[in-house]
A = this chain, B = another copy of it.
Amino acid sequence: MPVTIKDVAKAAGVSASTVSRALQDHPRISVQTRQRVKKVVLELGYSVNNVARSLKTNRSRVIGFVCPELNNVFFMQVGKGIEDALNREGYSLIVCSSGESSRNETARLQLLQQQCVDGIILIPATHEGSHLQQFFDAGIPIVLIDRKVDGFSTDAVLVDNVDGSYAATKVLLKTGCHPIAYIGGNKSLTTARERETGFRKAHADDGLEVDETLVFNGNFHWESGYKLMKKLSKMSPFPKTLFVANYYMFVGVVRYLVEEGVRRHQVGELPLPNMTLANFDRFEDGAVFHEVAVVVEQPMEEMGQKAVQLLLKRIEGNRVDFPLELRLKTKLST
């Protein structure tokens, strides 16, 4: 039913190979033939069968994107960057989620391998990375985003988490906020560790002690922010300043505060209760509370774009012996 290259060939009175070459603007095809072929292509509504092409050329022009969850604004902002960059190059994107499980991640990667993707962009589910080696060995380039993993090293696009959280903490300390409560992520993730490092470094550089009783680790989900804020609010004295290491935990924190109806700091001005808040990540269309003291913004779309650039380089065969690691700067907004 669908029109193939042979149909075009027949209709144009040439061979299939000529059609193929004409469409690729091969120099050895005469201008007349080329035009005639293209005309017929339009008339018949022919469009190349990428499956057949992939089989022959061993290049599918599809890349895979695996991330922990689909319904996560951070990952999808990165995904948007990836998709935009890929579309410009005529690539398609297969999206999978690992559900934050290494087993699922492996399963998804195997599926992608079967689909013969030309490369993979991965936001790792966990800190485990040894299962990635097999795919790399099979010749599939992999670029990591956001997090690094143990036991496997490859190209990666990361942000300067240490610097971002260092700068934010500095600002807080400079305005006299001390001690600062801290809600971090699961320390098995590099991002969580790095952000905490920056937090501590800022204290050290100012000759201040971190109040360890105020340092907690969640899991980057809103529920943990909610629970930890609840715990914090039961402490006395009530902590005046809080740094939350990602957006979702921040949402949980605010949600708790809202639900508890804690009074605002300055009535009629700040929507926030009697606390100075700082956090990682801002979303134009998601964050209802924009009057946070300090926000560390990550260049999410750019991360996706850079990852695509790196990946396509590898696919083009621009093989480099050592893995490349890009560290993008965060932006501090106060």
Contact = CB atoms under 8 A, between A and B. Distances in A.
B288 A289 contact: yes
Quickly give the copy total for this chain.
2
Contacts of A83: 70, 95-97
Interface string A69-84: 1111100110110010
A197 to B, nearest CB: 27
Contacts of A77: 71
A83 B259 CA distance: 33
A320 interface: no
A97 B301 CA distance: 14
B73 A116 contact: no
A94 B92 contact: yes
A95 B71 CA distance: 14
A13 interface: no
Interface in A96-117: 96-97, 108, 110-116
A42 interface: no
A106 B71 CA distance: 25
B288 A288 contact: yes
Interface in A12-49: 45, 47-49
In the complex, which of the residues A48, A115, A287 has the most CB atoms of chain B within 10 Å of its own CB atom?
A: A115
Contacts of A96: 83, 87, 92-93
A221 interface: yes
Given A70-B79, A284-B222, A268 B263 contact: yes
Given A73-B73, A76-B76, A290 B51 contact: no
A254 interface: yes
A55 B55 CA distance: 8
A35 to B, nearest CB: 22
A51 B45 contact: no
Contact of A114 (B47, B222, B271): B47
A7 interface: no
Nearest to A270: B261
Nearest to A53: B114
A50 B94 contact: no
A148 B62 CA distance: 30
Given A52-B55, A55-B55, A70 B60 contact: no
Contacts of A1: 138-139
Contacts of A49: 55, 114, 116
Contact of A54 (B51, B111, B248): B51
A53 B286 CA distance: 43
14 contacts: A1-B138, A47-B110, A50-B115, A50-B116, A52-B55, A55-B55, A62-B115, A70-B83, A71-B77, A71-B285, A92-B111, A251-B286, A271-B271, A286-B286
Given A50-B115, A83-B96, A263-B268, 6 more contacts: A51-B51, A51-B60, A71-B76, A87-B108, A95-B95, A286-B286
